[in-house]
Protein backbone atom coordinates (compact mmCIF):
# COMPACT_ATOMS: atom_id res chain seq x y z
CA UNK A 1 0.00 0.00 0.00
CA UNK A 2 2.69 2.40 1.06
CA UNK A 3 4.84 1.33 -1.90
CA UNK A 4 1.98 1.91 -4.26
CA UNK A 5 1.48 5.40 -2.90
CA UNK A 6 5.19 6.16 -3.18
CA UNK A 7 5.22 4.91 -6.77
CA UNK A 8 2.17 6.98 -7.60
CA UNK A 9 3.72 10.07 -6.03
CA UNK A 10 7.02 9.61 -7.87
CA UNK A 11 5.21 9.13 -11.17
CA UNK A 12 3.00 12.15 -10.56
CA UNK A 13 5.98 14.35 -9.71
CA UNK A 14 7.99 13.15 -12.71
CA UNK A 15 5.20 13.69 -15.19
CA UNK A 16 3.77 16.88 -13.69
CA UNK A 17 7.10 18.65 -13.18
CA UNK A 18 7.99 19.62 -16.74
CA UNK A 19 4.42 20.52 -17.62
CA UNK A 20 3.80 22.80 -14.67
CA UNK A 21 7.04 24.71 -14.45
CA UNK A 22 9.16 23.69 -17.40
CA UNK A 23 10.36 25.13 -20.65
CA UNK A 24 7.75 23.51 -22.88
CA UNK A 25 4.73 25.28 -21.44
CA UNK A 26 3.15 27.82 -23.82
CA UNK A 27 4.02 31.29 -22.54
CA UNK A 28 3.30 33.42 -25.62
CA UNK A 29 0.52 33.43 -28.18
CA UNK A 30 0.72 35.55 -31.33
CA UNK A 31 -2.50 36.12 -33.28
CA UNK A 32 -4.01 38.53 -35.80
CA UNK A 33 -2.38 39.46 -39.09
CA UNK A 34 0.16 36.61 -39.29
CA UNK A 35 0.66 33.60 -41.59
CA UNK A 36 -1.32 31.17 -39.39
CA UNK A 37 -4.35 31.38 -37.08
CA UNK A 38 -2.20 31.43 -33.94
CA UNK A 39 1.48 30.89 -33.16
CA UNK A 40 2.51 29.66 -29.74
CA UNK A 41 5.93 29.77 -28.11
CA UNK A 42 7.52 28.19 -25.06
CA UNK A 43 10.88 29.03 -23.50
CA UNK A 44 12.58 26.28 -25.50
CA UNK A 45 11.42 27.63 -28.85
CA UNK A 46 12.31 31.21 -27.90
CA UNK A 47 15.78 30.13 -26.77
CA UNK A 48 16.24 28.26 -30.07
CA UNK A 49 15.93 31.52 -32.03
CA UNK A 50 18.90 33.91 -32.51
CA UNK A 51 19.51 35.63 -29.16
CA UNK A 52 20.27 39.29 -28.56
CA UNK A 53 21.75 40.76 -25.41
CA UNK A 54 20.94 44.27 -24.27
CA UNK A 55 22.41 46.16 -21.33
CA UNK A 56 20.17 48.94 -20.10
CA UNK A 57 18.74 50.69 -17.09
CA UNK A 58 14.99 50.43 -16.53
CA UNK A 59 12.50 52.61 -14.66
CA UNK A 60 11.65 49.80 -12.24
CA UNK A 61 15.09 48.44 -11.28
CA UNK A 62 18.28 49.92 -9.82
CA UNK A 63 21.35 50.24 -12.02
CA UNK A 64 21.75 48.52 -15.37
CA UNK A 65 20.93 44.94 -16.23
CA UNK A 66 21.81 42.54 -19.00
CA UNK A 67 18.71 41.26 -20.77
CA UNK A 68 18.68 38.28 -23.11
CA UNK A 69 15.98 37.52 -25.63
CA UNK A 70 14.77 37.68 -29.20
CA UNK A 71 14.54 40.83 -31.30
CA UNK A 72 10.86 41.75 -31.60
CA UNK A 73 11.24 42.27 -35.37
CA UNK A 74 12.73 38.74 -35.76
CA UNK A 75 9.96 37.22 -33.67
CA UNK A 76 7.26 39.00 -35.68
CA UNK A 77 8.98 38.21 -39.00
CA UNK A 78 9.10 34.53 -38.00
CA UNK A 79 5.29 34.39 -37.98
CA UNK A 80 4.84 36.55 -41.08
CA UNK A 81 3.38 39.52 -39.20
CA UNK A 82 2.14 42.43 -41.27
CA UNK A 83 0.47 45.45 -39.72
CA UNK A 84 1.06 48.79 -38.05
CA UNK A 85 0.09 47.97 -34.48
CA UNK A 86 0.88 45.12 -32.12
CA UNK A 87 -1.53 44.85 -29.21
CA UNK A 88 0.37 43.44 -26.24
CA UNK A 89 -1.47 41.73 -23.37
CA UNK A 90 -0.06 40.61 -20.04
CA UNK A 91 -0.92 38.05 -17.39
CA UNK A 92 -2.11 40.88 -15.13
CA UNK A 93 -4.58 42.03 -17.83
CA UNK A 94 -2.41 45.00 -18.77
CA UNK A 95 -2.98 45.85 -22.44
CA UNK A 96 -1.21 48.38 -24.65
CA UNK A 97 -0.75 49.22 -28.34
CA UNK A 98 2.83 49.06 -29.62
CA UNK A 99 3.64 50.71 -32.98
CA UNK A 100 5.24 48.15 -35.33
CA UNK A 101 7.70 50.91 -36.36
CA UNK A 102 9.35 50.73 -32.90
CA UNK A 103 10.73 47.29 -33.77
CA UNK A 104 12.34 48.51 -36.99
CA UNK A 105 13.59 51.80 -35.54
CA UNK A 106 15.05 50.19 -32.40
CA UNK A 107 16.49 46.85 -31.27
CA UNK A 108 13.58 46.12 -28.93
CA UNK A 109 13.83 42.64 -27.45
CA UNK A 110 11.44 40.16 -25.95
CA UNK A 111 13.51 39.25 -22.91
CA UNK A 112 13.28 35.91 -21.10
CA UNK A 113 16.35 36.39 -18.88
CA UNK A 114 17.96 39.13 -16.83
CA UNK A 115 21.61 38.94 -15.73
CA UNK A 116 21.70 35.33 -16.91
CA UNK A 117 18.74 34.12 -14.86
CA UNK A 118 15.25 33.36 -16.20
CA UNK A 119 12.72 36.13 -15.54
CA UNK A 120 10.45 34.86 -12.81
CA UNK A 121 6.70 35.01 -12.98
CA UNK A 122 6.47 36.67 -9.55
CA UNK A 123 8.80 39.40 -10.78
CA UNK A 124 8.63 40.67 -14.40
CA UNK A 125 8.60 37.30 -16.14
CA UNK A 126 8.30 35.06 -17.89
CA UNK A 127 8.59 37.58 -20.75
CA UNK A 128 9.34 41.29 -20.68
CA UNK A 129 9.49 43.69 -23.63
CA UNK A 130 12.71 45.69 -23.18
CA UNK A 131 13.62 48.86 -25.10
CA UNK A 132 17.27 49.96 -25.55
CA UNK A 133 16.55 53.07 -23.49
CA UNK A 134 20.18 53.88 -22.63
CA UNK A 135 21.19 53.96 -26.32
CA UNK A 136 18.58 56.47 -27.46
CA UNK A 137 17.70 59.66 -25.55
CA UNK A 138 14.21 59.79 -27.09
CA UNK A 139 13.36 56.44 -25.48
CA UNK A 140 13.86 57.92 -22.01
CA UNK A 141 10.31 59.14 -21.98
CA UNK A 142 7.02 58.14 -20.35
CA UNK A 143 5.56 57.46 -23.83
CA UNK A 144 7.96 54.53 -24.09
CA UNK A 145 7.94 53.46 -20.44
CA UNK A 146 4.43 52.08 -20.71
CA UNK A 147 5.46 49.92 -23.71
CA UNK A 148 7.82 47.87 -21.50
CA UNK A 149 5.23 45.18 -20.95
CA UNK A 150 6.19 42.67 -18.31
CA UNK A 151 4.29 39.38 -17.71
CA UNK A 152 3.75 39.46 -21.49
CA UNK A 153 1.47 36.64 -22.68
CA UNK A 154 -0.03 37.73 -25.99
CA UNK A 155 0.64 39.76 -29.13
CA UNK A 156 -2.10 40.57 -31.64
CA UNK A 157 -0.93 42.04 -34.93
CA UNK A 158 -3.27 44.61 -36.50
Ligand X SMILES: Nc1nc2c(c(=O)[nH]1)N[C@H]1C(S)=C(S)[C@@H](COP(=O)(O)O)O[C@H]1N2
Contact (Cβ atoms closer than 8 angstroms) between residue 66 and residue 137 = no
Q: Which of 70, 69, 75 is nearest to 34 (CA)?
A: 75
Instruction: Find the shortest distance in angstroms from Cβ 73 to ligand X.
Output: 20
Which residues, 81 to 120, sit near ligand X by CB under 6 A?
90, 92, 94
Contact (Cβ atoms closer than 8 angstroms) between residue 79 and residue 30 = yes
Q: Which stretch binds ligand X (CB under 6 A): 15-23, 46-54, 65-73, 141-149?
A: 141-149
Nearer to ligand X (CB atom), residue 9 or residue 59: 59
Nearer to ligand X (CB atom), residue 5 or residue 62: 62
Which of residues 146, 151, 155, 158 is near Mo ion by CB under 5 A?
146
The interface partner of residue 7, options being Mo ion, ligand X, none and the CB cut-off 5 to 8 Å by kind, is: none
What is the C-alpha separation between 49 and 106, in angstroms, rounded? 19
Which residues, 49 to 78, sit near ligand X by CB under 6 A?
59-60
Q: Quote the DSSP letter at residue 50.
A: P
CB atoms within 10 A of CB 116: 8
Contact (Cβ atoms closer than 8 angstroms) between residue 111 and residue 68 = yes
Instruction: Find the shortest distance in angstroms from Cβ 152 to ligand X.
Output: 7
CA atoms within 13 A on the CB side of 18: 8
Binding site for Mo ion (CB under 5 A): 146
Which residues of the chain form contacts with ligand X (CB under 6 A)? 59-60, 90, 92, 94, 145-146, 148-151
Amino acid sequence: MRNKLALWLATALLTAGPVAGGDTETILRITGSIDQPAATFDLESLRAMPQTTLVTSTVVTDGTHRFTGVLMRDLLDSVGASGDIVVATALNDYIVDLPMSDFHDYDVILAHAMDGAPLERDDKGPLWIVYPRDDHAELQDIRYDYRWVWHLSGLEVR
